[in-house]
């Protein structure tokens, strides 16, 4: 096989009558890799619309890929990552790498007419329980949090719920008592046995995290996510070691080495994101690292179609799946571009079984929503 074209573009959500610039931050960042008449699709991390990662692909990576064999993809991508490492291995470059990796796995699956999970070794399960990941709760009062959770329970019938704080990134310990009151109100709403998780989005000091964590233990929450700043790796590990509740982190880890550092610090549940670190290949490496250390592997995943499908393929192949998969707010925002984007189905999502990612594109809709990004 031979790669003959690499395209980078945004797929806009919502109202396409708005000017193209309105797409930045309200779109999916997509790469399409063409070879032998087939097209593989990948997605980059959505931060700032993913535009920076797409520009790196278009300007710095695509020329080196043209003429290459998609079946040599790991060698090609690792060569590029190391060539560009001084652009910063955390973030923009790893987002670009992840997008290309997913696209090349999609292409490989299409060429071999097999779903990605078959190429990875097979699925332990093809229905994956999901949790509704509900953001923006720092800004709501107790009643607002309860109403929001109630609406998501009814609309999606998830297997579990995670309440996210999403507070102001430059503030910590803003309303500890209020946060605990919201967690308590959600527990009251769902009853004693429904699985709940709490995502602090890095908004506590160590002392506050211990206090909130103790309350969550009493309320029977099953995990406490990113209690302190992600870059305070030792502090994250300290909180994890001092609490009984499972403490998780890793959605802001961009390399296998930084996931290893989190595990070394004492974190025992890690959450790498397929569109941020390494794509399908990176997540499989992470799963192996977790398995070697007896650490729970529970990927972070917020993207509606490509990222979600790629994540489900990986999750289906993991023997010990201890927690449900993430289904974030706004999961349906690009469903119209993909005819069969995974959606809630009796508390689960079904892993696509077509070749590659198994996503079927509505070409007319894609043409309407597409905005080119060039280097």
Binding site for Ca ion (CB under 5 A): 199
Kindly state the smallest distance separating residue 300's Cβ from Ca ion, in Å: 6
Residue 164 or 370 having the CB closest to Ca ion: 164
Kindly state the smallest distance separating residue 341's Cβ from Ca ion, in Å: 22
Task: Tell me the C-alpha distance between 52 and 225, whole Å.
Answer: 27
Kindly state the smallest distance separating residue 201's Cβ from Ca ion, in Å: 6
Whether 369 and 30 have beta carbons less than 8 Å apart is answered as no
Task: Tell me the C-alpha distance between 63 and 271, whole Å.
Answer: 32
Residue 43 or 199 having the CB closest to Ca ion: 199
Kindly state the smallest distance separating residue 251's Cβ from Ca ion, in Å: 5
Residue 91 or 354 having the CB closest to Ca ion: 91
Distances (CA, A) of 7 to 31, 56, 304: 6, 12, 20
Task: Find, among 220, 262, 217, 221, the residue nearest to 242 by Cα.
Answer: 217
Kindly state the smallest distance separating residue 156's Cβ from Ca ion, in Å: 18
Residue 133 or 317 having the CB closest to Ca ion: 133
Distances (CA, A) of 350 to 68, 209, 294, 309: 33, 35, 27, 9
- Beta bridge pairs of residue 198: 163, 224
Kindly state the smallest distance separating residue 135's Cβ from Ca ion, in Å: 9
Work out the angle at residue 367's Cα, subtended by the Cα atoms of residues 364 and 368, and round it to the nearest 5 degrees.
Answer: 90
Residue 112 or 139 having the CB closest to Ca ion: 139
Greatest CA separation for the chain: 60
Task: Find, among 233, 178, 236, the residue nearest to 209 by Cα.
Answer: 236
Residue 7 or 179 having the CB closest to Ca ion: 179
> Closest-CB residue for Ca ion?
199
Per DSSP, the residues of 36-53 read TTEEEEEE---GGGGHHH
Residue 17 or 170 having the CB closest to Ca ion: 170
Residue 105 or 130 having the CB closest to Ca ion: 130
Task: Tell me the C-alpha distance between 171 and 44, whole Å.
Answer: 28
Task: Tell me the C-alpha distance between 199 and 2, whole Å.
Answer: 44
- Find the Cα–Cα–Cα–Cα dihedral 289, 224, 253, 324, rounded to 10°: 60
Kindly state the smallest distance separating residue 323's Cβ from Ca ion, in Å: 13
Token representation of residue 100: 């290309």
Residue 179 or 199 having the CB closest to Ca ion: 199
Kindly state the smallest distance separating residue 119's Cβ from Ca ion, in Å: 29
Task: Tell me the C-alpha distance between 336 and 370, whole Å.
Answer: 13
DSSP summary character for residue 294: T
Kindly state the smallest distance separating residue 138's Cβ from Ca ion, in Å: 13
């Amino acid at each position: 096989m031979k790669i003959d074209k690499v395209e980078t573009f945004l797929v806009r959500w919502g109202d396409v009558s708005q000017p193209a610039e309105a797409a930045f931050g309200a779109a999916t960042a997509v790469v399409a890799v063409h070879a032998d008449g087939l097209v593989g699709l990948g997605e980059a991390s959505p931060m700032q619309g993913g535009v920076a990662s797409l520009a790196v692909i278009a300007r710095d990576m695509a020329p080196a890929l043209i003429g290459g064999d998609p079946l040599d993809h790991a060698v090609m991508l690792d060569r590029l990552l190391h060539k560009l490492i001084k652009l910063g291995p955390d973030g923009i470059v790893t987002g670009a790498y992840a997008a290309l990796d997913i696209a090349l796995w999609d292409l490989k699956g299409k060429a071999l007419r097999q779903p990605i999970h078959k190429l990875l070794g097979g699925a332990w399960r093809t229905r994956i329980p999901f949790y509704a990941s509900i953001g923006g709760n720092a800004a709501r009062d107790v009643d607002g949090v309860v109403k929001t959770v109630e609406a998501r329970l009814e609309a999606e019938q998830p297997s579990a719920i995670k309440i996210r704080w999403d507070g102001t990134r430059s503030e910590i310990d803003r309303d500890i008592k209020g946060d605990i009151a919201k967690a308590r109100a959600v527990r009251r709403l769902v009853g004693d046995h429904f699985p709940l998780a709490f995502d602090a989005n890095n908004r506590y000091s160590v002392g506050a995290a211990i206090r909130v964590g103790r309350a969550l233990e009493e309320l029977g929450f099953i995990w406490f996510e990113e209690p302190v700043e992600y870059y305070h790796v030792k502090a994250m590990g300290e909180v994890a070691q001092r609490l009984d509740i499972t403490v998780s982190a890793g959605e802001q880890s961009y390399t296998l080495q930084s996931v290893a550092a989190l595990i070394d610090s004492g974190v025992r549940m890690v959450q790498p994101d397929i569109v941020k670190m390494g794509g399908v290949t990176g997540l499989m490496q992470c799963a192996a690292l977790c398995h070697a250390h007896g650490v729970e592997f529970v990927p972070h995943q917020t993207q509606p179609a490509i990222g979600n499908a790629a994540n489900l393929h990986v999750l289906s192949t993991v023997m010990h799946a201890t927690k449900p998969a993430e289904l974030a707010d706004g999961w349906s925002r690009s469903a119209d571009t993909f005819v069969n984007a995974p959606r809630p189905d009796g508390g689960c999502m079904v892993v696509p079984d077509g070749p590659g990612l198994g996503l079927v594109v509505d070409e007319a809709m894609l043409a309407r929503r597409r905005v080119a990004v060039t280097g």
